Structure 1
Amino acid sequence: MSDCSSNSRPIDVDNILERLRGLSSAEDFFHTLGILYDGRVLNVARLHILKRMGQYLAEEDFEGLPDRVIAARARSTLERAYSDFESASPLSQRVFKVLKEHDPEKPAEKRGAFVSFEAALKPFAEQ
């Protein structure tokens, strides 16, 4: 367990975006970008952290930048995404569409007319 920004490790910056595309686990991202993390935070919010990192990366323009700048920005986006979930739950952050659509603070949307099971079977009972 550690603060990810103050205890980061040096990383290999060469072709970092291409290498990140090939990673498969949250731990791989943290290791590749040289960021230490609390396993308890990662176990609860790993997909949410990576999704948020992707959202932050999508806001960046890496065109023509040197590898060291790209790596620093990628590291920064992961640190920022991780920080979002250190003290907030995935439910409160609502990164994924399903969580955005299901807000317990908002009343459920009315969807069409309700037909009871009994009413649906009534035509068969009359035959």
Structure 2
Amino acid sequence: MNSCAGENLPIDVTDILARLKRLSAAEEFFEVLGVSYDPKVLNVSRLHIMKRMGQYLAEEVNSDLQDKAIAAHARAALERAYEDFATSSPLAHRVFKVLKDRDPAKAAAPCRTFVPLDSILTPFGKK
């Protein structure tokens, strides 16, 4: 596990939402929110973890909350999202649309392509 410098210290909640919006690397989120992580898990599932964190935050947080509450929700969402992917693969959760659409457990929708008979019988270039 990678231990963040501020893991046991209270996190700086000053203008936390704006600060989180400026972050770009997943490691920065873990550092700012004081959440420990295993670099191996993060390297495999970073996009999935961040997407899931965003989904959890969208359910719980609005900008009307105080910074302390937003920071607590953000930390809990990151911990929860990380645990989702630390214990199972990204394919098990299917966070992204492309994975949801290609779920082998679901039956494929019937795909029918209609080609008019006239287009087959008409010689190429003639109409």
Please state which band the TM-score falls in when normalised by the shorter chain. 0.7 to 0.9
Matching residue of 2:26: 26
What CA distance in whole angstroms lies between the structure 2 residues aligned with 1:16 and 1:51? Answer: 19
Q: Assess if the C-alpha contact under 8 Å between 1:49 and 1:85 holds in 2.
A: yes
Greater than 4 Å deviation, 4+ residue runs: none
Matching residue of 2:96: 96
Q: Assess if the C-alpha contact under 8 Å between 1:9 and 1:35 holds in 2.
A: no
Range moving further from structure 2, 57-66 or 90-99: 57-66
Query: For residues 41-94 of structure 1, what are the alpha-carbon distances to aligned partners after superposition, in whole Å with 9 as ceiling and x for unaligned?
Result: 101110000000000010114454332221111101100110111111000001
Identical aligned pairs, as a percentage?
Answer: 59
Gaps (5+ residues) in structure 1?
none
What CA distance in whole angstroms lies between the structure 1 residues aligned with 2:123 and 2:38? Answer: 60
What CA distance in whole angstroms lies between the structure 2 residues aligned with 1:80 and 1:45? Answer: 13
Range moving further from structure 2, 43-52 or 97-106: 97-106
What CA distance in whole angstroms lies between the structure 2 residues aligned with 1:69 and 1:90? Answer: 29
What CA distance in whole angstroms lies between the structure 1 residues aligned with 2:96 and 2:90? Answer: 9
Which amino acid is the alignment partner of residue 44 of structure 1? V
Q: Assess if the C-alpha contact under 8 Å between 2:49 and 2:78 holds in 1.
A: yes
Matching residue of 1:77: 77
Pairwise CA RMSD of aligned residues?
A: 2.7
Range moving further from structure 2, 61-70 or 9-18: 61-70
Q: How many residues align?
A: 120
Matching residue of 1:8: 7
The Cα of 1:36 is off from its aligned counterpart by 1.1
Question: Structure 1 residues 110 and 123 mapped into 2: Cα distance closer, same or farther (>3 Å)?
Answer: farther
Q: Assess if the C-alpha contact under 8 Å between 2:61 and 2:70 holds in 1.
A: no
Q: Assess if the C-alpha contact under 8 Å between 2:49 and 2:82 holds in 1.
A: yes
Question: Structure 1 residues 109 and 123 mapped into 2: Cα distance closer, same or farther (>3 Å)?
Answer: farther
Matching residue of 1:65: 65
What CA distance in whole angstroms lies between the structure 2 residues aligned with 1:44 and 1:114? Answer: 42
Q: Assess if the C-alpha contact under 8 Å between 2:61 and 2:73 holds in 1.
A: no
What CA distance in whole angstroms lies between the structure 2 residues aligned with 1:57 and 1:46? Answer: 16
